[in-house]
A = this chain, B = another copy of it.
């Protein structure tokens, strides 16, 4: 059998793609961990972004969006955790511009080539002396410390590197992200960064990012809240020297698969590391009238506090899944719904199957819980990811600032 380029897609050890550098440092925004860092490409990279839909868009998010929109190009992104620079009014906007400028000066590039990202507490002024100090310490290395420096309540860095062959060249695509609370609909409720050495035009990259985010990051939910700050930014610097990827080609499909693998992995990582989460929950909906409705129902189930608490409690109380389906406006065969958990069928034709509770409780002890639902109302599907609702979620959010 001949190897197709799809077969060339493989997850590999974390590495920065060709031509990318990164670094992190401790600027003093957090007590004693690295809290600043940057990514830098040796040549200007094509770039794309998606951003929070929250009306109170934070200054760094807004500035990065404007910057990318000019020419879909970036050479660096500088970032900090510990302070979101959000709801800080004009001072916040000035500080964001200054942070962008300081990074550009140190890298000897134009400020219009620098994206910025901040995450942390809302409504406290960015301590610019610390930011300045942090930027002065950053170097061009291949360290992975940056993937840790952007974390807030996350319990671990979330990273992936996927390689694939395109146009006879090896393409490396690397993603990392942070996000644990304020994770919900409509994207951008976290920070995500993808770097690739593929050559692809900025506009194509934007289209690819927007559509892939709809199927990945926009289908995760931790607590139903959307942040003011967050975004996903992609940089493609072409250092792999492939012919620029064009839609409709086999090479493009290969790259799309690799890219989707990166985003899907990161989205699942965020869902599974939701604040206080003890389990990753995946909901697969079949028999939906449309893909949109499939997505809507999957997300309604994974986002229901009652379902989430039930999974934490390892209790097969399937009525709560029905209730979550029923509160959507999706087409549903009210007498034809099936529900399974980890392959055990709990509901058939909208009625309980009488399955042994102990068996369900046993399967709910697994770290990953998969809920399969058939709405029997069409042929479309949908998938969403989330986590359980635990005591620890409440604990973390009752005392975030202290």
Partner of A55, one of B227, B309, B327, B400: B327
Mark each residue of chain A from 385 to 398: 1 if its CB lies under 8 Å from any CB of chain B, else 0.
Answer: 00001110111111
A352 touches B318 (CB 8 A): no
Q: How far is the CA of A309 from the CA of B56 in the complex (A)?
A: 21
Residues on B with C-beta less than 8 A from A225 are: 304-306, 320, 323-324, 327
If the complex has contacts A123-B319, A223-B306, A319-B84, are A389 and B400 also in contact, measured as CB distance less than 8 A? no
Q: For window 32-88 of chain A, which residues contact chain B by CB distance below 8 Å?
A: 53-57, 84, 86-88
Asked if A401 is at the interface (CB within 8 A of a chain B CB), the reply is yes
Partner of A313, one of B57, B227, B332, B398: B398
Q: How far is the CA of A227 from the CA of B322 in the complex (A)?
A: 10
B393 touches A323 (CB 8 A): no
Asked if A181 is at the interface (CB within 8 A of a chain B CB), the reply is yes
Q: How far is the CA of A322 from the CA of B225 in the complex (A)?
A: 11
Q: How far is the CB of A292 from chain B (nearest CB, A)?
A: 17
- Nearest B-chain residue to A92, judged by Cβ: B351
Q: What's the tally of chain A residues with a CB closer than 8 Å to chain B? A: 63
A393 touches B309 (CB 8 A): yes
Q: How far is the CB of A320 from chain B (nearest CB, A)?
A: 7
Asked if A122 is at the interface (CB within 8 A of a chain B CB), the reply is yes
Partner of A351, one of B87, B182, B318, B389: B87
Residues on B with C-beta less than 8 A from A146 are: none
Residues on B with C-beta less than 8 A from A309 are: 393-394, 396-398
B55 touches A319 (CB 8 A): no
Asked if A228 is at the interface (CB within 8 A of a chain B CB), the reply is yes
Q: For window 359-402 of chain A, which residues contact chain B by CB distance below 8 Å?
A: 389-391, 393-402
Q: How far is the CA of A284 from the CA of B86 in the complex (A)?
A: 24
Asked if A334 is at the interface (CB within 8 A of a chain B CB), the reply is yes
B401 touches A394 (CB 8 A): no
A226 touches B327 (CB 8 A): yes
Select the residue from A225, A317, A319, A328 with max chain B CB neighbours within 10 A.
Answer: A319
Q: For window 154-188 of chain A, which residues contact chain B by CB distance below 8 Å?
A: 181-182
Spell out A's residues near B (CB within 8 Å).
53-57, 84, 86-89, 121-124, 181-182, 223-228, 304-306, 309-310, 312-315, 317-320, 322-328, 332, 334-335, 347, 349-352, 389-391, 393-402
